[in-house]
Structure 1
């Protein structure tokens, strides 16, 4: 069994590991149990009742968090000509030219948080799939990151406002950041409610039985706090 430090053990003593907490209680506890010296990220983890081996049971969607993520979001846009001009005027941190594309391909450079692209750039960036795909950065129409040039300003604004893309992993789990420990309980609760609503809407029609089987809230390096799945699924923003 893994050995944990003193602060982790002290955090464990603040709650009952077997209890299913209401979302509001869990949010309060996740703030109380954070012990690192930096502003820790709060994450929502879910075990879903889907079979990820089937393509029609994949969860991949986006959500705009009402209170953002509490961090600076660096946006890269793959575009040329008019699209590049629009991206620059919209405040993109990077507009990828051939040299930057080569840097990503050859050096694995990914010093950005969101990548957007116009469709005609896919002929150039298709080869970046191995680098960008590993980090969930490959532009994709389902994620709203493969867009026409005229939508670039809106996409950049949404990315900086707290737009988060998430997808299930091979074990049917979801891991979604919902903010920082420094956020108020109401802000974290609203962001959590927005994610739960997006998950609820993304339920595949072919999924059988219990859809959300386990919900855990945690902060960086701190123990996870179990949340009642049914109560979590009933959450609404601002309630």
Structure 2
């Protein structure tokens, strides 16, 4: 694969044989960003020991300093849950009118939440939401009766993750413009949370820090 000039320049700043401390890795990422005005997302990647067949690790993590990304939440709710969702500052709140808009191709949102009693009707637009990773599910915490609480947590920076079939997990842990101490705290909380959620048959083989489109820096366990 042919890499971009920016990627090749970034490689010159990284020792591929070295395992970095978190603070040192952040410092190098800031150098890679250089004078670019784009506020890059910092990602943490875990490579896990090979899981048992069918064993998937997933979970929710509350980042103390958020991700730095503005999230637009669509709450597909009815009745008393409408006020609860609005009070929690969901960006779009309603039901039939939004199902109709989704059927017509509308997708100006990042997260969809709904309640168990509405889930069956919401599944009718699954062919539009599913391929974009927007379909609410109980395991992701996006089908819940605690709509207000869930919306508030997402707004504050709660992220969800799911291990892929290769045993990898990728998570955003903030923006490169964050203070170093805030990034480190987000990273430490993420590592602790992932370790606590792993089944006994799994462990972290290695982990690394990078931008979405940059070389990665391996971190010390």
Q: Which TM-score applies when normalising by structure 1?
A: 0.84
Displacement of 1:218 in angstroms is 0.7
Displacement of 1:106 in angstroms is 4.3
What is the root-mean-square deviation in Å for CA atoms of aligned residues? 1.9
Displacement of 1:20 in angstroms is 1.0
Equivalences, count: 220
1:204 aligns with 2:199: yes
Contact 2:76–2:98 (CA<8 Å) still a contact in 1? no
Q: Which residue in the other structure is 1:236 paired with?
A: none
- Dislocated runs of 4+, deviation >4 Å: none
Displacement of 1:214 in angstroms is 2.2
CA distance in 2, matches of 1:171, 1:103: 36
Spell out the pairing of 1:25-36 with structure 2 (5 A cutoff): 25-35=24-34, 36=36
SS of residue paired to 2:46: strand
1:193 aligns with 2:184: no
**Do the aligned partners of residues 145 and 52 (structure 1) sit closer, same or farther apart at CA in structure 2, a change above 3 Å counting?**
farther
Q: Which TM-score applies when normalising by structure 2?
A: 0.91
CA distance in 2, matches of 1:79, 1:115: 10
- Unaligned stretches of 5+ residues in structure 1: 231-239
Q: Which residue in the other structure is 1:78 paired with?
A: 76
Q: Which residue in the other structure is 2:97 paired with?
A: 99
**Do the aligned partners of residues 93 and 45 (structure 1) sit closer, same or farther apart at CA in structure 2, a change above 3 Å counting?**
same
**Do the aligned partners of residues 217 and 4 (structure 1) sit closer, same or farther apart at CA in structure 2, a change above 3 Å counting?**
same
CA distance in 2, matches of 1:14, 1:131: 42
Q: Which residue in the other structure is 1:42 paired with?
A: 42
Q: Which residue in the other structure is 1:180 paired with?
A: 175
CA distance in 2, matches of 1:133, 1:59: 19
1:145 aligns with 2:137: no
Displacement of 1:125 in angstroms is 0.8
CA distance in 2, matches of 1:21, 1:165: 26
Q: Which residue in the other structure is 1:222 paired with?
A: 214
Contact 1:58–1:204 (CA<8 Å) still a contact in 2? no
